[in-house]
């Protein structure tokens, strides 16, 4: 499976259940290294400041995979632990978790407003922190 890989800290993860507030999607916001933050910003991706313990932590970029229909819920991004073994979550990852993300970049022109849009398709996530315990 083709894709790029990047490390960083995950925020606002929806990997256990998809985010259904507007368009259903699996997602996470990633705060990568400052060099990668500048690369994403320069290439036109929307960036948001993340806050951890009431302090600005860094600029994040959104990685997501849309849920097109309810059967598609089963096709969530692949999840692995630090040993690259499949990981099943029982809750969302806490903000600030160390992760490695595999993704692909896409861009397209909107038919409605004729503007160029860019995005990052979430393929897989490796949790680099100690795997959370079940109880």
Which of 68, 69, 70, 88 minimizes the C-alpha distance to 78?
Answer: 88
Tens-place pLDDT, residues 48-101 = 999 888 889 999 999 999 887 766 555 789 999 999 999 888 889 999 999 999
Residue count (the chain) = 135
Helix (H, G, I), strand (E, B) or coil at 39: helix
Those residues whose C-beta lies under 8 Å from the C-beta of residue 36, and which sit 6 or more positions away, are: 6, 8
CA distance 35 to 59: 11
The ranges assigned to domains in the chain are: 4-127
Residue 109 Cα distances to 13, 24, 32, 77, angstroms: 27, 21, 27, 25
User: Is the pLDDT score of 37 beyond 90?
Assistant: yes
Q: Please tell me the predicted confidence (pLDDT) of residue 1.
A: 53
pLDDT band at 135 (very low <50, low <70, confident <90, very high): very low
SS3 content of the chain, % helix, strand, coil (to 5): 10, 50, 40
User: Could you give the 3-state DSSP secondary structure of residue 2?
Assistant: coil
- Quickly count: other Cβ atoms within 10 Å of residue 62's Cβ: 19
pLDDT given at position 35: 94
Fold type of domain 4-127:
OB fold (Dihydrolipoamide Acetyltransferase, E2P) (2.40.50)
What residues contact residue 57 under an 8 Å CB cut-off, 6+ apart?
9, 11, 31, 49, 50, 51, 96
């Amino acid at each position: 499976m083709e894709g790029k890989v990047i490390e960083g800290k995950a925020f606002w993860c929806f990997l256990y259940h998809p985010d259904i507030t507007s368009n259903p999607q699996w997602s996470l916001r990633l705060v990568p290294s400052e060099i990668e933050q500048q690369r994403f910003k320069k290439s036109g991706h929307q960036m948001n400041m993340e806050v951890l313990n009431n302090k600005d932590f860094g600029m994040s970029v959104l990685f997501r995979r849309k849920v097109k229909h309810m059967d598609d819920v089963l096709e969530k991004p692949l999840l692995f632990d630090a040993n690259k073994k499949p990981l099943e979550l029982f809750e969302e990852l806490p903000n600030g978790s160390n992760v490695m993300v595999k993704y692909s970049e896409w861009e397209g022109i909107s038919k409605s407003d004729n503007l160029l849009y860019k995005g990052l398709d979430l393929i897989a996530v490796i949790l680099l922190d100690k795997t959370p315990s079940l109880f």
